[in-house]
Amino acid sequence: MPSPAGGHDYAKKAESAESTEEDEELQPLRQQRDNMEKCLLSIYSCKSDNNKFQFYTNLPNYEVFTALCKYLRGRALTYKYGFRKWKGIKHLEMRGSLSVSDASNRMLTFEEEFFIVLVKLKTGRMNQDLAYSFGVSTGFISELMTTWLSFLSTELKMLFEMPDCDEAMRSDGVPAVFGKTAHLVAIIDCTELMLQKASDLHERKRTFSNYKNHDTVKFMVSMSPQLCVNYVSEAWGGRASDRHITLSSRPFLDKLEPGSQVMADRGFTISDELRSMGIKIIMPSFKGRGRSQMTPAECIHSQQVAKARIHIERIIQRIRTFHILASVVRLNQIDIIEQIFQVCAYLVNFQLPIIRSNE
């Protein structure tokens, strides 16, 4: 009831005073709550700190994460009966929208699930550790990783395809070090991950690497002149040579057009095979056994190739910053290590460039 004219509303003043006192009493508790939330690992505790977000996800900032989520959300990831079911390529061709049926059964949002996957890849933390941190079960984390790895390995592979000759000739985003190779479409190199020793000697014969003197899993990585990973091979045993892996990578070779160029190290002895396809391979010069040293022109050429090839090694080094690849690959991981490596490799494309285009 309004107070009479000229009167005083003592009740309202008393309520206002009590509310102010209550706010002052709750303020320390709110501050304590905010401080505790900052200590917890979540999207919200990292989104405003670029260094922290990059430390846990290997993405430069929250904006890149949001843009990638927006793209992935529109792809063929469906939810049914509370479990994540990925329908694969056939489903991808049939429907390109995200279905969120039974959304009430989802324990985490799409963004939170993707964040957990990135944290797992970047930090290499155990599933039980992540389960404790995010308040879910260990089985949930295991299932989450299996589904998302299948999903991401396919989606990212389709997103970064090898350019044709016409696209490779464009100078946009191409560093000056590749300026003299107008038809260059790929710079390739191989890398190895340590593998747990198998008890079966026949299996060890396939995986033992003389170069590393250890059992390994081997991959070929291809990079475009724009410093973008555009192909990752399937997993091979450490015994496989660079030549064998390259010539067995049909998806890579089938995308090379006549007249294109590929840059590689001396270990890729595939010049004859590529030449028969109308493709030129660029590699450092060989001295050979019949002479004591290379000519000045060959030395200059080798220096130029080495200066350009260093960037594929820097890209591979970035892939290895995903600490899930740092430990020895266990034998029970052999079925998923290919997907893990491929996802880590393609995620490097969302990081900041390793050099500026005019360098």
Determine the average pLDDT of the residues in 272-297. Answer: 84
What is d(CA 323, CA 325) in angstroms, rounded to the nearest whole number? 5
**What's the pLDDT tens digit per position in 213-243?**
999 999 999 999 888 999 999 999 999 999 9
- Give the separation between CA 236 and CA 246, rounded to whole angstroms: 11
Count helices and strands in the chain by DSSP H and E runs: 15, 9
Which pLDDT score is estimated for 94? Answer: 34
Phi, psi at 102, each rounded to 5°: 55, 40
The predicted-structure confidence for 262-273, as pLDDT tens digits, reads as follows 999 988 989 999
Q: Where are the domains of the chain?
A: 44-159, 165-350
Nearest to 98 by CA among 151, 60, 141: 151
Q: Model confidence over 117-139: pLDDT tens digits?
A: 999 999 999 999 999 988 899 99
What's the CATH fold of domain 165-350? Nucleotidyltransferase; domain 5 (3.30.420)
User: pLDDT (tens digit, 9 = 90+) per residue, 304-337?
Assistant: 888 889 999 999 999 999 999 999 999 888 889 9
**Would you list the DSSP string of 195-251?**
BPPPS-HHHHHHHEETTTTEEEEEEEEEE-TTS-EEEEPPPEETTS-HHHHHHH-HH
pTM: 0.81
* CA-to-CA separations, 303 to 147, 225, 283, 289, in angstroms, rounded: 45, 18, 10, 20
Q: Tell me, what's the pLDDT at 211?
A: 87
Total residue count of the chain as it appears in this document:
359
Cβ distance 45 to 37 under 8 Å? yes
What is the predicted pLDDT for the residue at 220? 96
Q: Is residue 77 pLDDT above 80, yes or no?
A: no
